[in-house]
Amino acid sequence: MAETSISGFLPPSLGLLKKLQTIAIYIALLSGQIPPELGDCTELQDIYLYENSLTGSIPKTFGQLRNLKNLLLWQNNLVGIIPPELGNCNQMLVIDISMNSLTGSIPQSFGNLTELQEFQLSLNQVSGEIPAQLGKCQKLTHIELDNNQISGSIPPEIGNLSNLTLFYLWQNRLEGNIPPSISNCQNLEAMDLSQNGLVGPIPKGVFQLKKLNKLLLLSNNLSGEIPPEIGNCSSLIRFRANNNKVAGTIPPQIGNLKNLNFLDLGSNRIAGNIPEGISGTLSASLGSLGSLKKLILSKNKLSGSIPNQLGSCSKLQLLDLSGNQLSGNIPSSIGKISSLEIALNLSLNQLNGEIPSEFTGLTKLAILDFSYNHLSGDLQHLAALPNLVVLNVSHNNFSGHVPDTPFFSKLPLSVFTGNPALCFFDNQCDDDDKRVKRMTAARVAMVVLLCTACALLLAALYIILGSKKHCRGAHECDSDDDLEMSPPWEVTLYQKLDLSIADVARSLTAGNVIGQGRSGVVYRVAIPSGLMVAVKRFNLAEKISAASFSSEIATLATIRHQNIVRLLGWGANLRTNLLFYDYMANGTLGALLHEGDGAGLVEWETRFKIALGVAEGLAYLHHVFRRFCTEM
C-alpha cells in the first residue's frame, strides 16, 4: 500500500497479526496515532510509515520487537520523546525518525544497538547531549542529528566509529572543541558541524582523512590557522569554514587539492597574500585546482595583488574576493575564465587600473561588483555582457560615457555614484573650461527660471486643489499615479527580462487589473519581448524603504517550487513598491473556486488536488526551504 492515496487510521487490530513481518504504508495519507498494539507483532522486521500525517508518540511497545531491523517514520507529525525501550531492539539496522516534532534527549540505551548502521534524527526538537554510548555502535555509517537543539560537546568516543561515512550535526547548540579522535574515522566522507558554538582549532588529523570530500564548519567560533596538512586531504571537494575566527595565512599546500570545487573561507581573520597555488597552475609542487568552481575569500585581511595564475581555474563559476586589502590591477586572465556565470565580486579593496579588455569574454556572468576601489577608465568593455543582471561600479574613478544599452538604462543611479567623471547617455563629457564658461550664463538663467517657477507653482497649486474636488474612486484621478511612478527607481531583476519601469507604468491601468487585496493591486503587464508578467503594486499607505523592501523579499527570490509562483524581481522608488511575478493565465484561485457559474463549478476531486498542491507548497516553505537555507 505504498505511494497510494490510502487514508484513515491504523487499526489496533493489526496487533493480532502475530506473523506480520513488514508493514509498508508510506507516502500516503494516514493520520491518527501509531497503535501500541503493533508491539504484539513480535515477528515484525520492517516498519515503513514515512511521509504520512501520523500524530502522537512513538509507542514504547516497539521495544518488544526484538527482530525489528528498519524503523522509518520520517516526515510525520510525531511528538514526545524517543522511547528508551528502542534500545532493546538489538537487531536494528536503520532508524529514521527525522522531520517530526520529537523532544527529549537521545536515549543512552541506543548504545546497545550494536548492529545499527544509520541513525537519522534531523529536523526535530531534540535536546540534551550526544550520548557517549553511541561510540559502541561500531557499524554506524550515517549519523544525522542536524537541525535540533542538542547541546554539550561532541563526545570523543565518536572516534571509535571506524565505518562512519556521514556525520551531520549542523544547526545545534554544540560547544567545545572538535575532538581530535575524529581523525580515526578513516572512512568519513562528509562532515557538517556548521552553525554551532564550536571553538578551538581545526584538528590537523581531520585533513589526514583520505576519503573526506565535504567538510563544512561555517558559522562557529573556530580559531587557529588552517594547517598545511590540508594538502593531504586529496579527495576534498567542498571546504567551507566561513564566519569563524580563523587567522594566519592560506597555506600553499591547498594547491594540491585537485578535486576541490568549492572553497569558502570568507569572514575570518586570514591575512597575507593569495598563494599562487590556489590558481591551479601545473607546478608539480603546487598541484592543480582545475576543478574549482566556487572561491570565496571575502571579508579577510588578504593583501598584495590578485595572482594572474587565478585565470587557470577554467571551471570557476563564482569568485568573491571582496572586503580585503588587495591592490594592483585586475589580472586580464580573469576575463578569460569563460565559465564565470554566478558572480565576480572584487568590491571593497584597493584595486586600481582599468577594466581589462578581456572582460568582454565573460558572456555568462550575471553579477559583477567593482564598488569601492580605485579603478579608472571607461565602462565600455562591460557593454556587451549579455547575461549581466546586477552591476555595481560605485565609488571608483571611472570616467567617460555610461554605455547606452537597455541594461545600463535600467540601472539605478546608486550603482554609479562616487564616479564624478562619468557621463550619462546624451550628456556630453564637457571639459572643465567649457563648464566654467557656461557657469555665468547658467546663473543668470537660474534667476529667471526661479521667478518663472514660482509663478507656475502657484498656478499649479490652484489647479491641483481644484482638480482634487473632482477625483472620486481609486481610478478616476491620475495625478497621484504620475507622482507614484516618478523616478528615481531602484530595480532588481532575478531573471533575464527585457523589462523597464516605463513598460510597467503604461500597463498599470484599470483594464489590466487581475487581482486586488488589502496591501495592493495586481496587474497584467506585457513587456517588449512578448512575455506577460504579473506586477503587484503596493498601496501608498504601505510605507517601506527600498532598502528594507529589498531585504524583506530577497529570500523569496531563491524559492523554487512547482506550486509557488516565481518572483522575477522588484522595483521601488520613494512612493511605491512593485513586485514582478510569473503571470498565471487562468485567474486567481479564489475566482476559480468561488466565482464560477453552475456550469463551471470545480469538481471535488479537482478541489482536493488544489488543496494538496497548496499543502505541498506550504510544506516546502516550512520544512524543505528552511533546510535549504541552512544546508551549505
Cell of 490: 531602484
pLDDT, tens digit, for every residue of 68-114? 999 999 999 999 999 999 999 999 999 999 999 999 999 999 999 99
State the pLDDT confidence band at 492, using cuts at 50, 70 and 90: confident
Contact status, residue 248 vs residue 228, Cβ threshold 8 Å = no
Residue ranges covered by each domain of the chain: 431-463, 488-628
Report the pLDDT value the prediction gives residue 258, as an integer from 0 to 100.
86
Q: In angstroms, rounded to a whole number, what is the distance separating the alpha carbons of residues 74 and 27?
A: 10
Residue with grid cell 564658461, as numbered in its chain? 437
* Angle 395-399-401 from CA coordinates, rounded to 5°: 120
Backbone angles phi, psi at 142, to 5 degrees: -130, 125
Q: Is 536 annotated as a binding residue?
A: yes
Neighbours of 249 (CB within 10 A): 15
Query: Which of 424-428, 445-449, 518-522 tops mean pLDDT?
Result: 518-522
Provide CB contacts within 8 A for 372, sequence distance 6+: 347, 348, 349, 394, 395, 396
More confident residue, 227 or 499: 227
Among the CATH numbers 1.10.10.10, 3.30.565.10, 3.10.150.10, 3.30.200.20, which is that of 488-628?
Answer: 3.30.200.20
Element containing residue 576 per DSSP (H, E): none
Q: Residue 488: is its pLDDT beyond 80?
A: no
State the pLDDT confidence band at 440, using cuts at 50, 70 and 90: very low
Element containing residue 590 per DSSP (H, E): helix 589-594
HSE of 117, CA atoms in CB hemisphere, 13 A: 6
CA dihedral 336, 338, 343, 346 (to 10 degrees): 0
Q: In angstroms, rounded to a whole number, what is the distance separating the alpha carbons of residues 580 and 498?
A: 12
pLDDT, tens digit, for every residue of 156-199? 999 999 999 999 999 999 999 999 999 999 999 999 999 999 99
Element containing residue 56 per DSSP (H, E): none
Residue with grid cell 537487531, as numbered in its chain? 91
CA dihedral 498, 504, 507, 512 (to 10 degrees): 90
Handedness of CA 564, 570, 572, 576 (dihedral sign): negative
* Strands 513-516 and 199-200, bridge-based pairing: unpaired
Q: In angstroms, rounded to a whole number, what is the distance separating the alpha carbons of residues 493 and 580?
A: 8
Q: In angstroms, rounded to a whole number, what is the distance separating the alpha carbons of residues 322 and 299?
A: 6
State the pLDDT confidence band at 600, using cuts at 50, 70 and 90: low
Enumerate the β-bridge partners of residue 399. 421
State the pLDDT confidence band at 200, using cuts at 50, 70 and 90: very high
Where helices occur in 516-571 by DSSP H, the ranges are: 546-553
Report the pLDDT value the prediction gives residue 619, as an integer from 0 to 100.
60
Q: Report how far Cα 330 is from the mean position of its chain's Cα atoms.
A: 28
Report the pLDDT value the prediction gives residue 432, as an integer from 0 to 100.
41
Contact status, residue 378 vs residue 401, Cβ threshold 8 Å = yes
Average predicted confidence (pLDDT) for the chain: 82
* Nearest of 41, 113, 51 to residue 82 by alpha carbon: 113
Q: What value does the mean pLDDT take over residues 374-398?
A: 94
Report the pLDDT value the prediction gives residue 238, as an integer from 0 to 100.
95
- Looking at residue 519, the DSSP 8-state letter turns out to be S
Q: How far, CA to CA in Å, does 617 sit from each of 49, 507, 558, 562, 565?
A: 22, 30, 14, 8, 10
Contact status, residue 58 vs residue 83, Cβ threshold 8 Å = yes
pLDDT cut 90: percent of the chain above it:
54
Enumerate the β-bridge partners of residue 410. none
State the pLDDT confidence band at 470, using cuts at 50, 70 and 90: very low
Contact status, residue 44 vs residue 68, Cβ threshold 8 Å = yes
Cell of 159: 572516534
Stated pTM of the model: 0.67
